[in-house]
Amino acid sequence: MEGLTEGSLRDLSAHIAGQSHAMAGATLAASGALGCSLGEACVRISRSRLEAVEEQAAAQRVAARLVECRGQLEALVDEDGAAITGFETLRDAEALRQAQDRLCRMPWEMGSLAAEAAALLQEFRPLVRGVQDDLEMAITLLAGAARAASLLLDSNLRLWPEASLLAEYEPALAGLRQQAARLRPAERVR
């Protein structure tokens, strides 16, 4: 099966809309990846306008980490899309348990990556040049993806309240909520 990220955005959107199951994980990972892309563009544009070598190097480090986060989120789009589609066909108890574990871990990974990327952009605010509004939009997208991921993880734990999942992912959920709470997207751009 071709990965969801191999086609166009239009293909991805139509695929998600046409499923018999909601693909929340793939959707929020794609949103996070797009937020990383917009943030990376803002950092690179700003880097070209910075004069201090140290500031340019800082911008390059932020951009490089955003590339990594984006790539991991894109991989999670594909993995989550395949996992949620295949989940409905599982009958073996051990395979089902492993799938539930992975379907809990992925939202935590998605949320952590989105929150990290948003935090990087927040820290970059003093260096942004000429694209302040766009940077805030990227932070808002990423903060939303982090919060959506925490909702997805919480939902999965409600659907599968097994002791082993709760023991591992309730603390992860609390940590993800703390990360998301530290994000401060601008409410207005003036």
Q: Looking at residues 140-161, what average pLDDT do you find?
A: 96
| Residue 63 domain-assigned (yes or no) | yes
Answer yes or no: pTM beyond 0.85.
yes
| Residue 18 domain-assigned (yes or no) | yes
End-to-end Cα distance, the chain = 46
| Mean pLDDT computed over every residue of the chain | 92
pLDDT at 1: 41
Name the domain count of the chain: 1
| CATH code (residue 34) | 1.20.120.680
- Give the residue numbers spanning the domain of 26: 9-181
| Residue 92 domain-assigned (yes or no) | yes
Q: Looking at residues 27-31, what average pLDDT do you find?
A: 95
pLDDT at 84: 76
| Residue 4 domain-assigned (yes or no) | no
| Residue 189 domain-assigned (yes or no) | no
- In our burial notation (b when 16+ CB lie closer than 10 A, e otherwise), range 47-65 reads beebeeeebbebbeebbeb
| Residue 15 domain-assigned (yes or no) | yes
